[in-house]
Amino acid sequence: MRITLLILSTLILISCSKPDYLLLKEEAQAAYAEDRYDESIGHLKKILKKEPKNASYTLLMGQNLYHMGKAEESLPFIEKALQLDPQYAEAFSARASYLSAEGDFRAALADIRKAQNMQPGNSDFLITEGLIYKRAGKLDAALVSFGKAIELEQENPSAYEERAFIHLSKLSYGDAILDLDRVVELGDANSRTYINRGYARMEITADSLALLDFEKALELAEDKETRGIAYNNLGNIKMILGDVEAAYQDINAGIVLDPDNPYTYRNKALVLIAMKRFTEACDALSVSIDLGFVKTYGNEVIELKEKHCK
């Protein structure tokens, strides 16, 4: 009787602990998907303590660290995942992203090609390829990669979002709007989606639709930098539409949230010039120059300073 009870109690213990352990794995994956990286890592430490040779969760640990900005710490986990499973396509893709961030584009492309050969129909690998080309400055090649990803999976919002960014870089604003419209339709739009679509609309028509996009971006933005960018663009479109006072308030709000953005000071200078407050405008132009506007955007602020700050 004691033996039977012991067996039964053991079975009960196993049946209770196994679901808990499976739940831990699910929670690790869910936390990663929702950008809760610290939480995911906490779960993964427990999982890898029990399963140190699990390639999938070893890779997931590396991916968490990579997205936390700890690239150097992530690489050993990615490499270990490949040692555990030399045919692990997702691990080759992860290493490709790491190598691309380090500027080793040749090696990054070699790794992503290995992943693609293992899984030819994986649209995410084509997106990674496109991101490598984008980082390398090969925008036409990036467009091709993102286009192929969309052909494979027409409901992959990431491919549309990334292709829209390339269109914006090439000043193809109409094409960017079409791709960003698709992201919104697919229900995956975030604050950056609306900022980019609003910017494209502003460059084409500068109408109330751009204003609505920037307002939506501000509503969705969670971090200070993104809120600052949203306020900056909101101020810019209000200035174009003639509401100079409101534009000035929004741009100043943007500066408070994102004080190192040279474009915001450029916009502030334009508003102050419209208000004929030239001394303050010149100060704003000087700050914009000091923050590196010229290197990123060209000589516009220098030309404005030469014209208005004699």
DSSP calls for 113-179: HHHHHH-TT-HHHHHHHHHHHHHTT-HHHHHHHHHHHHHH-TT-HHHHHHHHHHHHHTT-HHHHHHH
pLDDT value of residue 13: 43
User: Average of pLDDT values for 289-297?
Assistant: 93
| Chain mean position to CA 91 | 20
Residue-wise pLDDT tens digits, 106-124:
999 999 999 999 999 999 9
pLDDT band with cut points at 50, 70 and 90 for residue 7: very low
pLDDT value of residue 23: 83
- The residues, ordered by sequence, that sit 6+ positions from 82 with a Cβ below 8 Å of its Cβ are 88, 91, 92, 95
pLDDT band with cut points at 50, 70 and 90 for residue 21: low
pLDDT band with cut points at 50, 70 and 90 for residue 2: very low
Structure tokens at 129: 């390829």
First to last CA, the chain: 101
User: Average of pLDDT values for 14-35?
Assistant: 74
pLDDT value of residue 45: 93
pLDDT value of residue 19: 55
Structure tokens at 308: 């208005």
Do 305 and 289 contact (CB within 8 A), yes or no? Answer: yes
In terms of Cα–Cα distance, which of 169, 128, 176 is closest to 148? 128
Distance CA 160, CA 137 (A): 19
Q: Is the pLDDT of residue 140 over 80?
A: yes
User: Average of pLDDT values for 88-93?
Assistant: 96
User: Average of pLDDT values for 125-147?
Assistant: 97
* Mean pLDDT rounded to a whole number for the chain: 91
pLDDT value of residue 15: 42
Residue-wise pLDDT tens digits, 25-60:
889 899 999 989 999 999 999 999 999 999 999 999
pLDDT value of residue 207: 85
Q: Comparing 12-16, 178-182, 303-307, which segment has the lowest mean pLDDT? A: 12-16
In terms of Cα–Cα distance, which of 48, 108, 97 is closest to 74? 97
Percent of the chain predicted with pLDDT > 90: 86
Residue-wise pLDDT tens digits, 175-227:
999 999 999 999 999 999 999 999 999 999 888 999 999 999 999 998 999 99
